[in-house]
Structure 1
Amino acid sequence: MTDTLDPTVLSVETDQLAVETLRFLAADMVEAAGSGHPGMPMGAAPMAWTLWSRHLRHDPADPEWSDRDRFVLSAGHGSALLYGLLHTFGYNLPLSELRNFRKLGSRTPGHPEYGDTPGVESTTGPLGQGLAMAVGMALAERMTNARYPELTGHHTYAIVGDGCLMEGVSHEAASFAGHLRLGRLVVLWDDNNITIDGNVSRCSSDDQLARFEAYGWHVEQVLDGTDIAAIDAAITRAKADPRPSFIAVRTTIGAGAPGVEGTSKAHGAPLGEALLAETKALVGWDHPPFTVPLSVQQVAAQWVQLGEQAHAAWRDDFAALRKSAPDRAAEYRRIQAGTLPVGLAEALRSVIGDAPRATRQSSQACLDAVRAVMPELVGGSADLAGSTGTVSGDAVTAQDFSSSAIAFGIREFGMAAILNGISLHGGFRVFGSTFLVFADYLRPALRLSALMHQPVIYVLTHDSVAVGEDGPTHQPVEHVESLRLIPGLQVLRPANDVETAQAWQQALERTDGPTALILSRQKLPQDPPARFDGQLPVAVEIVATGSEVELAVNAAEALRADGVGVRVVSPLDRTRYAPDPSATVVSIEAGSTAVWQGIADVAIGIDTFGASGPGDDVLAHFGLSTDAVVSRIRAHLAGTGARPGEH
């Protein structure tokens, strides 16, 4: 493919017409919806047109082509700009969808939503996360290239705004990208100096170019955001540099709208019919709303044709690989399709043993076994690989991306957002790990994993006050319950090797959403005494998860000595638990009882912050000992007048 358009379709006039097309498509969408953000699209249209008409290699007929360039609009409030681009460049997004902007059920929601709109690579809106996901996509490209260089060589582009750069996740992700020298990542900054509340100078005086240069990025500055030739040249230089690139493009929010341009008034409200008409008249735009002139269509169509040719050449490369190395080609297809390998269940069963060990250690054994049959499983930790049981050898470096391990550093939020980007890119199954208590740091990205139905696996260890001496700052109490409240997140808390292997199996089999594995620091028994004594009718059902299953089993033994029939239930996933309506239900979990109180007759847990001390002492302090639990249950049974063997 020659990334060059026929010069007969290019002209200053056509470029200007295309920019006005995108500006007014966006303004028309916002006006028709009665809400939205016209300012960013109107200011950023020249840089977006330059990128899409001269650099972005894609095939709208196949938006899932694995070696396409990726484009992420991190400043997702400017979604109308993205929808205008997708329509103009031939994606399956007709004008009727643009007219239905922000309407219920349309494919043009208020912020870009992955899965709703063809060509939208990620859900953006929470500022900064788009940039971090673009970093993940760029890393995925490098890791895929290390495995399949003959099939991989695309770029990742992103447009970010001032808000994206203020959010802390941008610092985490940009630092990480610079460290790994992700040279096929190009970020354009819509430098309009405006936020919702007013001028950026009210709250920030960062030198963004110096900041990104300090991260190890190649930096460029275009002082006139309407100069397409200058923007084009800056992108060309960026693509040639071996480092990630940051291009500051000075723009004017709401460009061309009298009395509004350059102010926060242009950010989040329609221009209004009169002002929009005046703005169009000033540039001689006399087309009806939602018009894409023929000459603009021709430029876009020719660029798309070049993308189709590149895709055809890629198909030839794949055919050659299939002929020369059929096993590698088949593996590539399997991985891209997300199909699990043969032998996964057997590999997981092989880790089950007899000796007591922490479920974080059981999880490490599962990971080691799975990696042997599943090379696409990649991930790492927020600088806690040894503690979370996710060690897997040397991590990827700027010189070698062939490893399956990623050293994210102490960047929990950045880690989770980057994992989303890798998952969205395709070709990998991903996991990230940290202590459960630090799930608070990554929660916004975990929420997007669920919202985008991405099968990211979160390995969250040190799961209760049994952490001990590190004290309440490191002892999760409310965390498991709060994670269960996230729609679409599968929360699994295993109690031993068998359940940990089952949890990994469920997590890997799931393709439509994330999974959180909640794992213990302390050792747990593998083969506790019988969970049900069939000699007695069930009067008490004790339901417990994870490390508290052992406590439930011990309490059950004591109650059976009283002549009470007890069943112990260990629901790996609480959503699949149905309490026995004929029994007294007792829950035991070393955390919040807020939801358990609606499930159990007796909810035993912790509804305050923890305390510093040895783990067993802390558990006993909060009533999580065999004697204390048995006393609670006996008192409840005495209060209800139940006799042994009765409910």
Structure 2
Amino acid sequence: MQDAIVTKAADNVRILSAAMVQKAKSGHPGGAMGAADAISLLFAEFLRFDPENPNWEARDRFFMDPGHMSALLYSELALQGKLNMEDLKNFRQLNSRTPGHPEVEVALGIENSSGPLGIGHAVALGNAIAERFMVERFGDILNHKVVCLVSDGGLEEEIAYGVGRVAGHLKLSNLIFFYDANQVQLSCRCEDVMSHDFKKQYEAWGFRVIDVADGSDIASLRKAFKEAWAETEKPTIVIGHTTMAKGAIAEDGKSFEGAVSTHGQPLNAAGASTDATVKNLGGDPADPFKIFPEVAEAFEARKAELRKEVEAWKKAKAAWDAANPEKAATLKEWLSGKAPKIDLSGLELKEGVATRVTSGTILGHLAENVKNCICSSADLSNSDNTQAFLNKTGIFRANDFKGGFVQVGVAELTMGAICCGIALHGGLYPICATFFVFSDFMKPVLRMAALMGLPVKFMYTHDSFRVGEDGPTHQPIEHETQIRLLEGLKKANGKSEMLVLRPADAFETVAAWEMAFENNDSPTTIILTRQNVKTLPGDRKVEAAKCRKGAYVVSDNCGSARPDLTFVSNGSDVLLTHDAAEVLRAEGLKVRVVSMISPALFMSQSKEYRDSVITPWTPVFAKSSGLPLLFAQVVGGFGKVSGLERFGASAPAGVLEKEFGYTPEAVVAAAKEYLAEYKANVEEFKKNN
């Protein structure tokens, strides 16, 4: 495409971006206007995609890290014909296809939802790892580039360190960052917050760094991108020194290029003039929502070129299919969108071990039998038992992706985002593990995984104060309640945005992993013990499967009578309440014990089923190793939840159980006290109603 046409397209994007933000009366025009030249050139000449099939497996992926620059992406998609002018006019409006930050919709060419700055380029890193994994197994027929727009703010975020280190270490030559270095932030200039040498920083990580002094010079950008596309040894970052709000002027012609005020508000509010700017860029202030005819023609010609490339690829793919029928069938199955079927029924389980140990047995099985799984742990594989997966697959190394394990080091947030990128690639199922307390580092990623509906399997071990001697800094107390807040959010169909499971023994752990892989449109979190847990009573292979409804009766001596007391708990607390129930039963009480692996899942069941597990208007006492709030919804108005309302302490787990009241004797005493309270409350209720 001629340089002048690319520049014209970039001006068109600047006009549309400024007009969109002005019409919406909110948004970020400056950055979109500054990066328009580089991104227009990428779409005009470099990014390979199928105009008819947005899900084409060999397409190049374009990721947005700075989602606030969404007007830029939407304008580019309009040039391709994927969005129309009405879509752009409805920018940031309810139910529009152009929300304030891009939301993943591959059909439109939007590869990721752009959340907190920095997350997007870590997701792109995961996508690049996924591409290498696929190419290792299926060959160059699946080669593609992963390109990500990054900004000053995103590279200031701490996650940028993890991304740079891992990408450089793995020598991901398929990964290209374009750094929109416009030197302007939302509230100040970049010089006010940083002065280090980005070029040396990324070179130290092992990147090829290409510096483009004028980020609007098409010839220089083209040269840089050609070099990036040709690179075979390392990831590339193209540093484009762009101009914030390029082309922006006031009514009197005063330039507002580079002005901080243009970052996060309409140009009119920034002191410039949208009308004057549109006119300055060659548009019609009375009707700025137009695509220049010559630009439209050029992008139609580009689509014709792409169709030829896709047709050539299809012929090559057909020949590859014929030569590799087994691999072709596997690839088709992987890309079908169907979750892998896992059968754990024949697995030999050790009983009386920590649920993390049982999970390790399952992970070893997955490594051998589910070949489109990728696992990662934040330097804890020998403790969270993901080592079982690692030992049977091996770690990824530079230029060697035969394994199945991403060794990220101590980088929980980066790891979580990488796993999101792997899931976004298609055909792959990432497992992401660390200690539960370190989920604190991962809250933005957990939320983004839920927002994007990604089937990432988050696995957290060392689930309670029973971590023991490591002390309160490493003992999760509030964490289960926090993470279950995402389980409380519902999709349009009523399903939870995240499935959170805390299994009670080895057999529930098997069921939890089966449930995780059946859950194909949202993330799953499995919470596991450090300490050993005994097997619950009954035929566990049969009984534990009932946890698929969120809760079930573990033990019961009520017969047809109403319970005198129902215990509710999950994880290792289930055996604790069962042991307490046995004491109370010996004293003549009718006591039911319920294992509730997921309160939200239980509450989604029919009322008939819920009432069969927890009999209405009977005493219900829940025991939690975390905050009492965890079970508040299920115990009812006269029920009670006993939990921890303090941080933990450093001591052996057994000592802490006695100190905090997590022994059968302490639970019995608390239950009796509650039954007295319950009786008094019922009498008071009767008296007043």
1:511 to 503, 506, 520: 520
Distance 1:537 1:278 in 2: 77
Tell me the residue number matched to 1:400. Answer: 400
Q: Which residue of 2 aligns with 1:533?
A: 557
Cα deviation code 1:281-323 (max 9, x no counterpart): 3344347311111211122122222222222233223322332
Structure-1 separation of matches of 2:480 and 2:678: 31
1:158–1:185 distance in 2 versus 1, CA, 3 Å: same
Aligned to 1:370: 366
Q: Which residue of 1 aligns with 2:266?
A: 270
The answer on whether the counterparts of 1:74 and 1:128 sit within 8 Å (CA) in structure 2 is yes
After TM superposition, the structure 1 stretch with the greater mean CA deviation from structure 2, 393-402 or 364-373, is 364-373
Contact 1:390–1:433 under 8 Å retained in 2: yes
Which segment is superposed worse, 464-473 or 529-538?
529-538
Aligned equivalent of 2:615: 580
In structure 1, the residue matched to 2:471 is 471
Whole-Å separation in 2 of the counterparts to 1:458 and 1:433: 6
Q: What residue is the counterpart of 1:257 in the other structure? A: 248
State the SS of the aligned residue for 1:378: strand
Note if contact 1:129-1:417 (Cα within 8 Å) is conserved in structure 2: yes
The answer as to whether partners of 1:619 and 1:625 remain within 8 angstroms in 2 is yes
Equivalent residue, structure 1, for 2:308:
309
1:296 counterpart residue number: 295
The residue number in structure 2 matching 1:387 is 383
Per-residue deviation at 1:352? 5.0
User: In the superposition, relative to structure 1, how do residues 116 and 272 fare at CA in structure 2: closer, same or farther (>3 Å)?
Assistant: farther
Deviation at 1:372, TM superposition (A): 2.4
Shift in Å at residue 264 of structure 1? 1.3
Instruction: Map Cα deviations across residues 375-408 of structure 1 (whole Å, 9 max, x no partner).
Output: 0011110010111111122201013101111111
**Kept in 2: contact 1:60–1:119 (CA 8 A):** no
Distance 2:420 2:229 in 1: 24
Q: Does 1:35 align with 2:26?
A: yes
The alignment status of 1:550 with 2:575, answered yes or no, reads yes
Tell me which residue corresponds to 1:6.
Answer: none
The C-alpha deviation readout for 1:227-280, integer Å capped at 9, x for no partner, is 011011011112222200011101111112134321211111111297122223
Q: In structure 1, the residue corresponding to 2:302 is in which secondary structure? A: helix
Give CA-to-partner distance per residue, 1:477-513, whole Å, 9 cap, x none.
Answer: 0000100001312110011121111111111111111
2:485 paired residue number: 485
Residue from 188, 191, 195 that aligns with 2:178: 188
Q: Hey, what does 2:49 align to over in structure 1?
A: 58
Corresponding residue to 1:174 among 150, 161, 164: 164
Pairing 1:53-452 to 2, within 5 Å after superposition = 53-91=44-82, 93-115=83-105, 118-241=108-231, 242-258=233-249, 259-272=255-268, 275-286=273-284, 288-341=287-340, 344-345=342-343, 348-351=344-347, 353=349, 355-391=351-387, 392-393=390-391, 394-452=394-452
Which runs of no fewer than 5 residues in structure 2 stay unpaired? 250-254, 490-496, 539-553, 603-609, 681-689
For residues 525-546 of structure 1, the C-alpha deviation after alignment (integer angstroms, 9 at most, x for no partner) is 1243761124564111111101
Equivalent residue, structure 1, for 2:10: 19
Identity of aligned residues (%): 37
1:172-194 deviations in Å (ceiling 9; x for gaps): 11111000000011101111111
TM-score for the superposition, normalised by structure 2 = 0.89
In the alignment, which residue of structure 2 is the partner of 1:5? none
Which amino acid in the other structure matches residue 245 of structure 2?
Answer: G
Deviations 1:47-73 (A, max 9, x none): 111111111001232111111000011
Distance 2:281 2:459 in 1: 56
Gaps of 5+ in 1: 1-9, 643-647
CA shift for structure 1 position 151: 2.2
Backbone CA RMSD of aligned residues: 1.8
Task: Tell me which amino acid in the other structure corresponds to 1:247.
Answer: V
2:629 pairs with one of 590, 594, 605: 594
SS at match of 2:460: strand
Partner Cα separation in structure 1 for residue 247 and residue 557 of structure 2: 79
**Matched pairs, number:** 630
Residues in 2 aligned to 1:252 and 1:34: alpha-carbon distance in whole angstroms: 22
Per the alignment, in what secondary structure is the counterpart of residue 349 of structure 1?
coil
State the distance in 2 between where 1:210 and 1:354 align.
52
Kindly state the Cα deviation for residue 340 of structure 1 after the two structures are TM-superposed: 3.6
Look up the SS of the partner of 1:556 in the other structure: helix
Deviates more, 1:318-327 or 1:107-116: 318-327
Identify if the C-alpha distance between structure 1 residues 54 and 167 changes in structure 2 by more than 3 Å, giving closer, same or farther: same
Q: Which residue does 1:461 correspond to in 2?
A: 461
- Comparing 631-640 with 196-205, which one deviates more in the overlay? 631-640
Q: 1:524 aligns with which of 533, 546, 558?
A: 533
Aligned with 2:677 (options 601, 624, 639): 639
Give the corresponding residue for 1:617.
655
Q: Which amino acid aligns with 1:475?
A: Q
Tell me which of 601, 607, 620 is aligned to 2:645.
607
2-side partners of 1:546 and 1:276: how far apart?
Answer: 59
Q: Deviations over 1:538-589 (max 9, x none)?
A: 1111111011111011011011011111111112212133443232111112
TM-score relative to the length of structure 1: 0.94
Q: In structure 2, what is the Cα distance between the partners aligned to 1:427 and 1:598?
A: 37
